[in-house]
Structures are given as C-alpha cells and as structure tokens.
Chain A
Amino acid sequence: MQARQISVFLENREGRLEEITGILAMEKVNIRALSLADTSDFGILRLIVNDPDKAIAILRREHFTVRENEVITVEIEDHPGGLHDILAVLGKAGISIEYMYGFFERKNQDKALMVIRVESAAKAIKCLQDAGMHLLRAEEVYTL
C-alpha cells in the first residue's frame, strides 16, 4: 500500500536543485510528486518518481546522499475540509505525522492527493481505510 519515496540531501546552494532535475530529465525519470524542506544551511528534497530503482542508482552514481522511505498516498476530496477529514482520523487515533505534502491528480481533476509520512504506517493505513478513505497503491502513484 505504501509508495517508495526518495529523499536527497541538498546544501542550500544556487543551482543545486536544477542539477538534480537535469540529471533525472536526461535519464528520462519522471517526477510524480515532490516537496522541498529546508533550513538556512541545507534542504531535503523528497521525490516520488515513476522508476525509483533507476532514480536511486542515478543519484548515487552522481554522489548524492540518498535515502529511501515509504509513504502513504491518500486521495482527498478537493473541497474545503477535505484535508481536515484525514487529519481528524489520524489525530483521533493518536498517530503523529512527520511530514506531508499535496499534489493534484491529472486524470481525476476533482481529487487531490496527500503524501503522508507517519511513524506507525500500518496503523495509519488501517485507520484511514476503516474511515472509508481511498489509499493509492504504489503502482498507481508511480503511473499517475
């Protein structure tokens, strides 16, 4: 149920992000979703791509520090309160979110997608499904 997410360590330097997107573009890796978290010194780029194995191999070859994590992708209604419904389910179950980021689905214009990283993934998945939320399978995420 969880998709593979690639995290890359980046120094806050001009042009660094562009280098990564350039490398991935050249190798024809398609980025499905991304978020960038940063401090004044460094940042962490989180990526979901169509071919995680290839992306990791390429980035390691280029000497980037790469880490792989699993994340939950949940579909939400694109209307006010849509995100709140999900957070309420997780909050009620006492599951804390480490980070999350959202993006839109190309095929299904009235839905939004949230990528969520939690400490206890199995528990979160069960809670969300019990509440009738739609979670995307990994393959669905890669081929969005």
Chain B
Amino acid sequence: MEARAVKYENEYLSPDALQALQLKRLVQVSRHVYDHVPHYRTVFDKVGIQPGDIRSLKDFQKLPFTDKETLRQHYPFGMFAVPMNRIQEIHASSGTTGKPTVVAYTSGDLKIWSEVMARSILCTGGTKEDLVQNAYGYGLFTGGLGVHYGAIEMGAAVVPMSSGMSKRQLQLMQDFGTTILTCTPSYSIYLAEQAREMGLDPRKSTLKIGILGAEPWSEGMRREIEAAWDIKAYDIYGLSEIIGPGVAVECRGQNGLHIWADHFLPEVVDPATGKPVAEGKDGMLVITTLSKEATPFLRYATKDIVSITHAPCPACGRTSPRISRIKGRTDDMLIIRGVNVFPSQIETVLLNIEEIAPHYQLVVSREGALDELEVQVEVEEKLFSDEIRVLEALEHRIRKEIEAVLGIQVRVKLVEPRSITRSEGKAKRVIDTRKI
C-alpha cells in the first residue's frame, strides 16, 4: 500500500465517517443556497423542507435535480450564491440551445479545485518531481486551468501548452523531458502518430503517465495508448458545473475512478424514475457540490451513465467510492475532440439561417485519431439555387456559423431531400461511426 498523504486523509475515511462529513456539509451547503439563491429557496419551499430538516441522504433526495436547463433559465448569474465582489473566476461551457452554462469560483473554490486536481494527479502516481505538459485547452473550458492549478498545488512543474501545435508539443516534450501528459485520450493517440511521422519513437520518450479525459474512451483505447507511448494511461473525470477536471480519477489499479466524495456527493439514479439504483448497477450520475461557495449545485444531473462501488480499493486502499468509466449519456450530447456538442445547437443555427426547420444529420467519425463532424443539410427548394456559387456560399455560411457556436471545425455537406434516414417519421439526427 502506498504511503497515505496525511493532508488528504478524507480519501481514507471509514464509511460512517465519510457519511457524517457529507451530511454535515450537505446541511451547510443547503443553508447557503437557501439563503442566497432564490431558485433553491423556491425549490425547498415547494418540497416543503428546510435545510435544517435534512438528517439523512434520504431526506435530501426529496429535492429535484438541477441540470443545464436550470442553469440556462438563470443565465448568466442567477445561480450565483455569493456577491460579485467575492467571485474570482468565471467559466462557461456550451449550453444546449446557444446560451452557455456559467460557473464561478471564489478564492475558496479555487483552493478546492486546486486541491481535488492535485489529489487527482497524486492518485495516478504523480509527484513533485514530475513535469506536467498540460495539453488541455486553456480558456473558458475548465480543462486547461483546472489541471494547471492542481499541478501547482501538488508541487509539480507545469508547462501550459494548451491544445494544438502538435509538433511544438512533441519538440518541447523531448527537450524538457515531460513525464506527465494531460490531454484528451484521442489527442494522445494523435500525438503518438505525429511523433512517429517526425521520426521519433514515442516509446522512447520520457513520458511515464497520461492523465486523460474530457471524452469517453475504452479499455481498447487505453491499451493502444499505453502501448504507443509505453506509459500508464489514467482516466480522469470532471465537468465544469461541478468544478472542472478533478472530480474523479483512476488510481494505479485502473479499476474505477475514485470520486472525491468529501467535496462531491455522488448518487446513481434510474434516469427514468429518478430513484437510486442498487450499487454496481448502471444509472445516471448525480452530484452535489458539498463545499463550493460561488456556484454550488444540489443534485446536479450529469446525464452521464455510470455505476458506483463503495468497496475499498484493493489497489490503493482509498475508501473514496469509485465510479465506472462513462458508459453513455442519457441525452443526445456528443463529445467531439473533447468539446460538448448538442444537436440542438446546430438546429438553432440552421433555423436562424433560413427560418425553416431544415432536415439535417450529424455524422461523427474518427479519421486517424481525431473526430470529424459532418453536418448534412437537406437542400429544400427554399434553399436551392441553380448556381453553384450560391450553394457553395450557403455551405460556407452554415459551416462558419456552426463553427462559431461550437468552437470546433466541422464539414458541411448539402444533400438531397429525403436522403437522411427517417425512422417512424422522425429523423435520425446523429450517426456516430466512431469505434471507441
């Protein structure tokens, strides 16, 4: 068993001690949002309970879920639980219909974020001797800064590469002697391919550990990545609504992701009924932030499908519950090159272009290591011109407007009416041919 870090003893609490801590924090955060977020006050009053009435998880589970739609309704700052003079950082991620999902951090929240992300790096075997090359995007996306704060907190050196510039990534990796790479799993495969194209052998690099996340992946991909780089590849989970990266991560056992349950209370529920499912069974992951101040969310519906186990980890001895890899989604969200994409976002763009509901289909494929999104739009008579340049201009306009909303490159293809498969009259919007 590895040495227990005294600082993070919450990872090794007994079930009773963890539950007691969670309950105490649950009441605190409930009071905080009841007092400062009108939406939550309404929710509590409607259900007919007061924060002080919460004596068990069962009491708490009377509350409804919070989701992206709740956040959208209170855009931009309606869910903030502290005044602006206490806010230190604001992030936004894509919403389902154009309005982004806004989250904020107080200085205390940034400390928690740094802590959970530091714990995540430590959990994978990282030490202060390591050099972390952070190839998650820096910016509104929480991936870049979250990993950055965590690396600093645990004492490692961090190279803030951000995403892209693959040749430069590889050059610096070689020159600096990077030992930990943080990026999406597909990008790590792409980088290995690029390295070989440059005449480098990725297996001979100084890299030891990959901390990979922000998109779903599989054991097959893990084996591919580990073989390509001769490293250990660990799955990390997070979402901006909860804090960003650092919500859960694998340890060297690579058998489930330890969720930092002293800060994030996990529940796994049946997405149809909202009722808890038995341990080990698949359901939707619901998370309550137990300690965040600026944007605490009660029972946030992640829409991610997982299972959970509370059994102590045989590999590292931590008692933090472990969630499985993300097995799917309860909604139609796609993750393309680490970016969340909702078909409804594309539909909104198309509606704005022609004020008609065009038939469209999204075809997601993986070419080499990277995801490709093709948006097929049926050419109705209202859109049709007998001039090539007009149709090409239309293609170009659709592409630019979608790219402006999604922030990733897409391909637009005009197709004939009725060429998009309709099942029972309803168009099939997404064809995902990626073999993950």
Most buried by B among A38, A41, A63, A117: A41
How far does the Cβ of A64 sit from chain B's closest Cβ, in whole Å?
7
Q: What are the interface flags for A1-36 relative to B under an 8 Å C-beta threshold, 1 for contact and 0 otherwise? A: 000010101110000000000000000000000000
List CB contacts (< 8 Å) of B384-432 with chain A: 384-388, 391-392, 395, 413-419
Q: Is the CB of B388 within 8 A of A44?
A: yes
List CB contacts (< 8 Å) of A80-103 with chain B: 98-99
Q: Is the CB of B387 within 8 A of A65?
A: no
Residue from B384, B395, B416 in contact with A67 in the complex, judged by beta carbons closer than 8 Å: B384
Q: Is A66 an interface residue (CB 8 A)?
A: yes
Query: Which A residues lie within 8 Å of B381 (CB)?
Result: 65-67
A98-B391 CB under 8 A given contacts A11-B416, A42-B414: no
Residue from A37, A63, A117 in contact with B388 in the complex, judged by beta carbons closer than 8 Å: A37
Q: Is B18 an interface residue (CB 8 A)?
A: no
**Nearest-neighbor residue (CB-CB) of B381 within chain A:** A65
Q: What are the interface flags for A38-75 relative to B under an 8 Å C-beta threshold, 1 for contact and 0 otherwise? A: 11011010100000000000000001111101000000
Query: Which A residues lie within 8 Å of B392 (CB)?
Result: 39
Query: Which B residues lie within 8 Å of A38 (CB)?
Result: 388
Q: Is B380 an interface residue (CB 8 A)?
A: yes
**Complex formed: what's the CA distance from A11 to B391 in Å?**
12
A contact residues, total (Cβ < 8 Å)? 21
A42-B391 CB under 8 A given contacts A11-B415, A65-B381: yes
Query: Which B residues lie within 8 Å of A9 (CB)?
Result: 379, 384, 391, 414, 416
How far does the Cβ of B386 sit from chain A's closest Cβ, in whole Å?
3
Query: Which A residues lie within 8 Å of B416 (CB)?
Result: 9-11, 63-65
A65-B379 CB under 8 A given contacts A10-B416, A41-B413: yes
**Nearest-neighbor residue (CB-CB) of B418 within chain A:** A63
Query: Which B residues lie within 8 Å of A11 (CB)?
Result: 414-416, 419
A67-B413 CB under 8 A given contacts A9-B379, A44-B391: no
Count of A-B contacts judged by CB separation below 8 Å: 52
Q: Is the CB of B414 within 8 A of A41?
A: yes
Query: Which B residues lie within 8 Å of A42 (CB)?
Result: 379, 391, 413-415
Interface size on B, as a range, is: 10 to 19
Q: What are the interface flags for B312-334 relative to A under an 8 Å C-beta threshold, 1 for contact and 0 otherwise? A: 00000000000000000000000
Residue from B380, B387, B413, B414 in contact with A99 in the complex, judged by beta carbons closer than 8 Å: B387
**Complex formed: what's the CA distance from A65 to B418 in Å?**
10
**Complex formed: what's the CA distance from A105 to B341 in Å?**
56
Most buried by B among A5, A9, A42, A99: A9
**Complex formed: what's the CA distance from A39 to B379 in Å?**
15
Q: Is the CB of B386 within 8 A of A7?
A: yes
**Complex formed: what's the CA distance from A96 to B73 in Å?**
52
Q: Is the CB of A98 within 8 A of B387?
A: yes
**Nearest-neighbor residue (CB-CB) of A9 within chain B:** B379
Q: Is the CB of B386 within 8 A of A67?
A: yes
**Complex formed: what's the CA distance from A10 to B385 in Å?**
12
Query: Which A residues lie within 8 Å of B379 (CB)?
Result: 9, 42, 65
**Complex formed: what's the CA distance from A12 to B139 in Å?**
41
Query: Which B residues lie within 8 Å of A98 (CB)?
Result: 387
Query: Which A residues lie within 8 Å of B380 (CB)?
Result: 65
**Nearest-neighbor residue (CB-CB) of A66 within chain B:** B381
Q: Is the CB of B386 within 8 A of A46?
A: yes
**Nearest-neighbor residue (CB-CB) of B413 within chain A:** A41
**Complex formed: what's the CA distance from A63 to B379 in Å?**
11
Query: Which A residues lie within 8 Å of B391 (CB)?
Result: 9, 39, 42, 44
A67-B385 CB under 8 A given contacts A10-B416, A41-B413: yes
**Nearest-neighbor residue (CB-CB) of A10 within chain B:** B416
Query: Which B residues lie within 8 Å of A66 (CB)?
Result: 381, 384
Query: Which B residues lie within 8 Å of A117 (CB)?
Result: 386
Query: Which A residues lie within 8 Å of B417 (CB)?
Result: 63-65
**Nearest-neighbor residue (CB-CB) of B395 within chain A:** A41
How far does the Cβ of A33 sit from chain B's closest Cβ, in whole Å?
14
**Nearest-neighbor residue (CB-CB) of A68 within chain B:** B386
List CB contacts (< 8 Å) of A122-136 with chain B: none
Query: Which A residues lie within 8 Å of B388 (CB)?
Result: 37-39, 44
**Nearest-neighbor residue (CB-CB) of A38 within chain B:** B388
Query: Which B residues lie within 8 Å of A5 (CB)?
Result: 386
Most buried by A among B386, B391, B392, B415: B386
**Complex formed: what's the CA distance from A99 to B388 in Å?**
10
How far does the Cβ of B362 sit from chain A's closest Cβ, in whole Å?
16
Query: Which A residues lie within 8 Å of B386 (CB)?
Result: 5, 7, 44, 46, 67, 69, 117
Query: Which A residues lie within 8 Å of B418 (CB)?
Result: 63
5 new A-B contacts, CB < 8 A, other than A42-B379, A67-B386, are: A9-B379, A9-B414, A65-B417, A67-B381, A69-B386
Q: List 13 A-B contacts (CB under 8 A).
A: A5-B386, A9-B391, A10-B416, A42-B413, A42-B415, A44-B386, A44-B388, A44-B391, A65-B416, A65-B417, A67-B381, A69-B386, A99-B387
In the A-B complex, the 10 residue pairs with the closest CB atoms: A7-B386, A63-B418, A9-B379, A65-B384, A65-B379, A67-B384, A37-B388, A11-B416, A42-B414, A9-B384
A residues whose Cβ falls under 8 Å from a Cβ of B: 5, 7, 9-11, 37-39, 41-42, 44, 46, 63-67, 69, 98-99, 117
